[in-house]
Amino acid sequence: MELLILILYILLSITLVRALLSLLRRSKPGRPKLPPGPVPLPVIGSLLKLGDKPHKSLAELAKIYGPIMSLKLGQKTTVVISSPALAKEILQKQDLAFSTRSIPNAVHAHDHHKYSTVWLPVTNQWRSLRKALNSNIFSGNRLDASQNLRRQKVQELIEYIGKCCQEGVAVDIGSAVFKTSLNLLSNTIFSIDMADPTQDSVQQFRHLVWRTVKEMGKPNLVDYFPILDKIDPQGIRRRVKSHFEDTFEMFGRLIDERLELRRSGKSGAENDVTDILLNISEENGEINRTHIEHLCLDIFGAGTDTTSSSVEWAMAELLCTPETLQKAKAELVQTIGKGKPIEESDIPRLPYLQAIVKEIMRLHPPAPLLVPRTVETDVEVYGYTVPQGAQVLVNAWAIGHDPSVWANPTSFMPERFLDSDIDIRGRDFELIPFGAGRRICPGLSLAIRVVPLMLGSLINSFDWKLEGGIKPEELDMDDKFGLTVQKAQPLRVVPFRV
Ligand code: HEM
C-alpha cells in the first residue's frame, strides 16, 4: 500500500512538472500544434474516459473533438484517427512515417518484439518475414494448394456439430470455431491437429493460446505509465512470459522432430510452413530458428481469435435477423445445393454470403483499433503535429459506425454491399478491418477464404435455434474488448439437420 502511494506520489509530481512545461511550451507561438482533445487530469490524463470499451468511448469523443484527436493516457500521448480520409492519410499517404508499431509492455516477454512480424519496425528483418508470409504461406498458389486441408477441417467441424445435433445438445459456436481455426493453422504450420481433445498436450496448447490471448488483451497500467515497467504491477508481463515459455517449448519440440526427420532423409513430404521456413533459413540465413518460433506464435496469436470471433458474430447477427438468414440459406441452396459441402472456389458465386462477411467486419471488426502504431519523429497531419513517440490508433470501429459514411450504421444490413464496390482489402478506407498499407494484415487472403467457408458451411448444413428458447430479439449482443472484440456472452445454439 505504502509502495503504491509512493508510486502515485512520484507519478503526480512528474505529471505536474510535465503539464507545467507543456503549458509553457504551448503558450509560445510557432510551437507544434497537437490535435484537439479532452483536457487531461493530473497523473491519469484522460484514462478514465476510455472505460472498458475504448473503441466505443473513443468514437464518442471523436464526435466532440473530430476525426483526429489527441489524448493523454497516463504518461502516453495518443492520437486517434476516426475518419476514412484521415485513415487514408495515415495508412496510405504517409504510410512509412506511421509504420512503426507502438509496443505493449507484455510483448517484451521473451523479447518477442525483437523477432515478431507484428511488432518489429519496418526493417530488413521485418521485410524478410513478411516476404516469407506473403510469398510462401499466404500467396494465392499456396492457399489453393492447401484447400484440401481446410475442406477437411471444416468437414470435421460439421461432423462435430452433426453429433451435437443427434444428441440434441447446444453448440458453443465461438469455441467450436476457435478449435477449427487452431487446427487449421496447426496443420498449415506443423501438419498436426493441436486442438484434439483426446490428446493432453495439444489440449493444453488450445488453452495456452486462449490464455495468452486473454492475458494480452487486458488493459495494462504499464502501457500508460512506462515508469512502472520494472514493477509490472498487474503481473501481466510475467504471466505472458510464462505462457510464451510453454508455447516456445512446444514449438521447439516440433521443430526438433522435423529437423530430425529432415536429417534422416524423410523430410519434404509435409511441405508445410515449418518445412518452408526451414528451407528459407537454410538457403539464405535471413530467418533463423528463433524467428521461426516467434513467427509461429504470431500466426496462432493473430489468426485464431480473429477468425473465430468473426464467424461467431456472423451467426449471432443472422440468428437475430431470421429473414437475412433465410436469404443466405436460399442463395446457398440455389448455388450449392441443400446440405452440400461448400468449396472455396464457390465463394465468388455467393455474393450474399460475401456481403454478410463484409457487414460483420464493418459492425464487429475483430481488431477495432487495428494494431497500434507510433511515429519516430514529429509528423504533420492536416495542420496538426503528431509528436514523436505518440501512440497512433486508427478507430476502424468508429469509421464503420459513422452515420456520415454509412446509412443506418448500427443495423445489420448485408444488402448495402450488394450494389457496392467497397471491399475489405485495404483500398476502401470506409472499411478497414484488416488495416491498410504496408502493415496490412498478411492473413487477409486466408481469412477471406476461411470465414465465408466456415459460415456458409454452418448455414447450409443445419438449421439453428437459440438455446433455452431465447427469442432473436432477446439475444445479448453486447461485446467485450480485449486483444480482439468478442461477444460478451458466448453464442449457444441448438443445431437441426436441414
Ligand atoms: C478475420 C480475420 C483477421 C482480421 C480481422 C485481422 C486483422 C488484422 C489487423 C487489423 C492487423 C493490423 C493491420 C494494420 O496495422 O494496418 C493485422 C495484422 C496482422 N495479422 Fe491479421 N487479421 C485476421 C486474420 C489473420 C490471420 C488468419 C493471420 C495469420 C494466420 C493474421 C496475421 C497477422 C499478422 C502476422 C499481422 C501483423 C502484420 C504486420 O504488422 O506487419 N491475421 N491483422
How far is the C-alpha of 375 from the C-alpha of 26, rounded, in Å? 20
CA-closest candidate to residue 453, choices 147, 133, 164: 147
**What is the DSSP track for 126-150?**
HHHHHHIIIIIISSHHHHHHTHHHH
From ligand 1's centre to the CA of 298, what distance in Å?
Answer: 9
Average pLDDT over residues 70-81: 97
101 CA closest ligand 1 atom index: 40
Average pLDDT over residues 249-263: 92
Across 216-225, 283-292, 409-418, which has the greatest mean pLDDT? 409-418
Residue 418's pLDDT is: 97
Residue 194's pLDDT is: 81
Q: Regarding beta strands 384-386 and 379-381, do their DSSP bridges make them parallel or antiparallel, or are they unpaired?
A: antiparallel
Q: Ligand 1 pocket by C-beta < 6 Å: which residues?
A: 117-118, 130, 185, 298-299, 302-303, 306-307, 310, 366-367, 370-371, 433-436, 439-443, 446-447, 451
Query: In a mutational test of the pocket of ligand 1, which residue from 441, 448, 484, 485 has the highest number of ligand atoms less than 8 Å from its CB?
Result: 441
Give percent of the chain with pLDDT exceeding 70: 91
* Cell numbers that stand for 86 in this block: 484521415
- Output the residue whose Cα is nearest ligand 1's atom 19: 441
Cα 97 versus chain centre, distance: 22
437 CA closest ligand 1 atom index: 16
From ligand 1's centre to the CA of 139, what distance in Å?
Answer: 15
How do residues 20-36 score in pLDDT, each as one tens digit? 445 444 445 567 899 99
From ligand 1's centre to the CA of 408, what distance in Å?
Answer: 28
